Amino acid sequence: MNVRAGGQDGEIPDENLLDHDDCALVRGVLARAGDKWSILVLRILGDGPTRFNALQRAVGGISQRMLTVTLRHLERDGLVSREVTPSKPPRVDYALTSLGQSLREVTEPIGQWALANRGEIEGARIRYDAADL
């Protein structure tokens, strides 16, 4: 979020930070990536093009409608491509676009972070919840 290159450590000088509008953009991306099914779908599509029903089976627990909605969102943002093969029965393959792949790469560190810090997060929650019963 902060645009300076270089240093990794604690203090972050101001200026050079994203303005309010840019935050909305970032938030939009995070919100899309953070909705209930998107990352699951993105992950599975990372294995290669997949058909609708295969996707639904792979995700597990997603309703048809939510899969459709999720795919539409991802498609709209140019993260996923949709290829129709008119046959009988019809066949539709979804795949990651290069944009989608690049997003996956960038979100991956967050996965690492979440795994590395899950204990801390859960601990913090337990402490917090215990504090004000």
54 binds a copy of itself (CB under 8 A): no
Omega before residue 89 within 30° of 0, cis:
yes
Please classify residue 107 by burial: count the beta carbons closer than 10 Å to its beta carbon, then call 0-12 exposed, 13-18 middle and 19+ buried. Answer: middle
Nearest to 55 by CA among 46, 65, 45: 45
Pick one of 22, 28, 30, 64: the residue that binds DNA (CB under 7 A): 64
Contact flag: residue 37 with DNA (CB under 7 A): yes
Q: Among 17, 18, 54, 124, indicate the residue that binds DNA (CB under 7 A).
A: 54
Residue count of the chain:
133
Calpha distance 103→109 (Å, rounded): 11
Least distance CB 8 / a copy of itself (angstroms): 7
Taking the least distance from each CB to DNA, the nearer of 6 and 90 is 90
SS3 10: coil
Size of the site for a copy of itself (CB under 8 A): 70
Task: Return residues touching a copy of itself (CB under 8 A).
Answer: 1-5, 7-10, 12, 14, 16-18, 20, 22-23, 25-36, 39-40, 42-44, 46-48, 60, 75-78, 96, 98-99, 101-115, 117-118, 120-121, 123-125, 127-129
